[in-house]
Amino acid sequence: DQQVKQNSPSLSVQEGRISILNCDYTNSMFDYFLWYKKYPAEGPTFLISISSIKDKNEDGRFTVFLNKSAKHLSLHIVPSQPGDSAVYFCAASHGSSNTGKLIFGQGTTLQVKP
Amino acid sequence: DVKVTQSSRYLVKRTGEKVFLECVQDMDHENMFWYRQDPGLGLRLIYFSYDVKMKEKGDIPEGYSVSREKKERFSLILESASTNQTSMYLCASSLLFYNEQFFGPGTRLTVL
């Protein structure tokens, strides 16, 4: 049972435009969400996170929105740059666990065209 | 900067061989994790460890075992490699009670 889902395997946008990556989850116990970015032949790197007590978190060009009632989060990248082309994974955890275990989605491949 | 290193970037093994994948982190993290990444399936947790000599099964532990004899080192063992274990293997670490995991560069394992 996939508790974290990224239903769009790929997304293509023009440089300078907005990229919106979506993620849905099923477990209402999740209270912390993260986005990771992965280039080919490298490990994922942490991008941005959000706690369930917030509905928005911003870091430069990256903003994550959380809609708890819909169990949905999204990552906005504005403006998109060719260097943003990568695979993006969303991940979720619940705070009752002290193991730091994350549940990852399937990933969305973003291509930003010059 | 946190550094997580993995012993090999690329590895080719034969069916039935015993395979060891090593991971070392240099930031005194309590938690360590092994994932495999396959197209369309994302990152799936194989095993994790929150302390030396402690281990817990993840979502897909079958065919794998792990060893954590020292805090900084977490090994993944394929007892008898099979072709369906051809994959990208990623190691990660994190502080206890913290969610952010730091990943190594990955090992691309091919089993022939």
Contacts of residue A56, defined as CB under 8 A and 6 or more positions apart, other chains included, come to A50, A63, A64, A65, A66
Cα–Cα distance measured from residue A74 to residue A21, given in angstroms and rounded to the nearest whole number? 5
Q: Do A41 and B106 touch (CB under 8 A)?
A: yes
Interface mutation target, options A88, A99, A103, A108, chain B, most CBs of B under 10 Å: A99
A101–chain B Cβ distance below 8 A for any pair: yes
pLDDT value at position A94? 81
**pLDDT single digits (tens) B41-57:** 999 999 999 999 899 99
CA distances from A16 to A13, A37, A61, A77, B65 (A): 9, 19, 11, 10, 46
Average pLDDT over residues A5-10: 95
Residue type for position A64? V
**pLDDT single digits (tens) A92-105:** 998 655 567 899 99
Q: Environment class of residue B50 by beta-carbon count within 10 Å: exposed (0-12), middle (13-18) or buried (19+)?
A: buried
**pLDDT single digits (tens) B5-28:** 999 999 999 999 999 999 999 999
Cα–Cα distance measured from residue B7 to residue B11, given in angstroms and rounded to the nearest whole number? 10
Cα–Cα distance measured from residue B61 to residue B54, given in angstroms and rounded to the nearest whole number? 15
B4–chain A Cβ distance below 8 A for any pair: yes
Residue type for position B72? E
**pLDDT single digits (tens) B63-111:** 999 999 999 999 999 999 999 999 999 999 998 777 789 999 999 999 9
Chain B residues within an 8 Å CB radius of A41: 9, 105-106, 108
User: Residue B66 has which token pair?
Assistant: 């792990």
